[in-house]
Amino acid sequence: MDARIAVLASGGGTNLQALLDHPTIGPRIALVLSDRPDAFALERARRAGVPTITLDNASAPAALDEPLAGLLRERGIDTVVLAGFMRIVGPAFVHAFDGRILNVHPSLLPAFPGGHAVADALAYGSKVTGVTVHLVDEEVDHGPIVFQEPVAIRDDDVWDTLEVRVHETEHRLLPRAVIALVEGRLKVDGRRVHVIGEPGA
């Protein structure tokens, strides 16, 4: 596996850490980008010896698409992972890495898209939420689904307690999806993704 991976993150970077700690994926992470200079994800990358870049948060998202794609190409990046990245990547960026961008989302899409999925599930009174890892297309939280796993919501759950279990699930599913992508084991048929070598593929 000779992929060069860029991870884009806006916050604490726990999913980034799960990738950095993975023996197969970690050595392939060539760049970490954030739109927030104080994001702890950047510190995690520095501790791992991975180069970091902070994006200009004042620019409109669409204005960054082509420069960002060009920057990643210059660094030899061929695979992109959105791990808690809170900016929307637009069509120009998606097309530049078509079929090579993964996103992890803390719900069972299409339920609760957007940036407050855990809180939204609690507010709705849902009994189950979960985690989705999907390929990124031009729509937000919409692309073909690679993996999903439910997370039960307990009667006494609050945001903090539910978030812990959602994160635990994310940290298992995201590395599996990244490995499958870089090993060429994802077969996309419309909205269906068959993961070669996985049960039920």
Could you list the active site residues? 105
CA 28 to chain centre: 16
- Strands 5-8 and 29-34, sheet pairing: parallel
